[in-house]
């Protein structure tokens, strides 16, 4: 007898399916097991959903990383925010504004020749060769022009070139122009300080804040300087008139508070407009008050007389022989307007007697002379907030002849600000207070 094949039999059920049906719906399985199974399947379902979401996020992140990489070169510039700089009365001297900058993503540009033609037609100052090199590079992000005008941004936007975009950056502006140029200094295209108080800001923590991403817009307090813009304007105006009247190559001046060391005004002409950084590169526009060193001439006689008075051996009525020139070897020291008599200490200063000053210095000796000038801060480089400063020129071998000439301000060269600091000590009762460009009180000095 042969077996007949049953054509109406159902296909054998897979064992996994039978197990699931038995666990979930079988009567022979206790309720606790069924509950555990159902919870397990629910967890699997949620896990699958989260896996799908996670996968999508990973895909998005990979795409976003590529986009971020294309803009990585711009992040430092965008993040570089700077605090306002104000004068002692709160007048703004330097501030940040937002300005659009033009960039390209070479990998996204379809027709580079067309893009170059359109961009250079809209921005004629662009260098065609430079733009071509940048857009032909393999980089994901390239700057094309920093700090363009809003109108230029609109014109380029209308062109609709794929791979060309804009980023808003912080741009430094100086409302007072030339007024406090040497004091404020300037920044580079990335809004980083490269001179003056702007560089001081970066050297004193601002650069670290930028690197940490903490130097954001409007979260920084204004930096208040000691300068008074009104006094600065008056001083600059008078110096400009004098420079023109005497056809001088340069003119400079300082106004200081001798009790606090604050610099109330500082002008060095010719100056520059920090809104036009190219002007600052002209060698004639250096800050002669801090980076120039000069023989200060008869102003140094104040130190010579102060040295004698400080010794306690002489007073203002002490007499000094100025009847004839002072001879030293083959050299003779003369007075411009000789009086032909003994001069009191006061008269040596009043008549600006070279002979009298030389005799006073010789009475103290070479070592005492050097020691006093060192105590007055004239023999070492003066350090202030301004990074730009110069070391004085001092004789390597200081003998009696050096003491004679230095007594009336020749044979030694110092920065004018350095000399002002020393003279301020003579005016304030003998306190040598380092000058500052930051606002401070007498108690803080």
Contact 146, 189 (CB under 8 A): yes
Distances (CA, A) of 43 to 26, 34, 204, 281: 21, 14, 56, 70
Q: Around Cβ 146, how many Cβ atoms within 10 Å? A: 17
- Examine residue 270 and say whether the peptide bond preceding it is cis (omega within 30 degrees of 0): yes
- The tokens describing 364, both together, are 């103290």
Q: Which residue has the tokens 């936007």?
A: 157
Q: Is 391 annotated in the active site?
A: no
Nearest to 268 by CA among 416, 436, 397: 416
The three-state DSSP-derived secondary structure of 117-169 is HHHHHHCCCCCHHHHHHHHCCCCCCEEEECCCCHHHHHHHHHHCCCCEEEEEE
Exactly one of 22, 95, 298, 363 is catalytic; name it: 298
Phi and psi of 198, rounded to 5°?
A: -60, -45
DSSP string, 344-379: EHHHHHHTT-HHHHHHHHHHH-HHHHHHHHHHTT-S
User: Which residues are catalytic, by number?
Assistant: 298
């Amino acid at each position: 007898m042969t077996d007949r094949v049953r054509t109406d039999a159902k296909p054998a059920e897979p064992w996994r399916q039978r197990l699931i049906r038995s666990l979930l719906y079988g009567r022979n399985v206790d309720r606790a097991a069924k509950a555990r199974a159902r919870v397990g399947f629910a967890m699997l379902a949620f896990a699958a959903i989260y896996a799908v979401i996670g996968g999508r996020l990973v895909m998005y992140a990979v795409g976003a990383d590529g986009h971020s990489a294309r803009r990585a070169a711009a992040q430092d510039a965008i993040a570089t925010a700077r605090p306002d700089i104000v004068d002692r009365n709160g007048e703004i001297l330097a501030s940040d504004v937002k300005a659009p900058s033009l960039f390209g993503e070479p990998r996204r540009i379809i027709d580079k020749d067309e893009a170059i033609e359109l961009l250079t037609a809209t921005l004629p100052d662009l260098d065609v060769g430079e733009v071509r090199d940048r857009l032909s590079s393999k980089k994901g992000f390239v700057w094309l022009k920093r700090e363009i005008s809003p109108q230029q941004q609109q014109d380029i936007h209308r062109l609709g070139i794929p791979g060309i975009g804009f980023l808003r950056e912080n741009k430094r502006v100086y409302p007072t122009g030339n007024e406090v140029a040497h004091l404020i200094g300037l920044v580079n295209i990335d809004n980083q300080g490269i001179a003056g108080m702007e560089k001081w800001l970066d050297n004193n923590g601002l650069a670290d804040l930028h690197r940490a991403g903490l130097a954001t817009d409007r979260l920084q307090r204004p930096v208040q300087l000691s300068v008074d813009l009104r006094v600065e304007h008056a001083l600059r105006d008078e110096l400009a008139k004098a420079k023109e009247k005497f056809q001088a190559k340069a003119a400079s001046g300082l106004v200081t508070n001798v009790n606090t060391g604050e610099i109330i005004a500082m002008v060095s002409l010719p100056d520059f407009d920090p809104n036009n950084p190219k002007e600052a590169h002209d060698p004639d526009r250096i800050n002669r008050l801090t980076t120039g060193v000069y023989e200060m001439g008869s102003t140094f006689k104040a130190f010579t007389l102060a040295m004698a008075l400080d010794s306690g051996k002489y007073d203002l009525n002490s007499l000094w022989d100025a009847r004839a020139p002072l001879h030293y070897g083959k050299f003779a020291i003369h007075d411009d307007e000789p009086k032909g008599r003994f001069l009191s200490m006061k008269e040596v200063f009043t008549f600006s007697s070279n002979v009298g000053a030389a005799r006073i210095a010789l009475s103290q000796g070479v070592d005492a002379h050097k020691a006093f000038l060192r105590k007055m801060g004239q023999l070492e480089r003066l350090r202030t907030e301004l990074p730009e400063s110069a070391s004085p020129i001092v004789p390597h071998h200081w003998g009696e002849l050096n003491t004679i000439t230095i007594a009336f301000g020749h044979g030694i060269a110092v920065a004018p600000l350095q000399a002002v600091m020393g003279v301020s000590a003579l005016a304030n009762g003998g306190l040598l207070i380092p000058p500052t460009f930051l606002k401070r009180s007498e108690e803080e000095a």
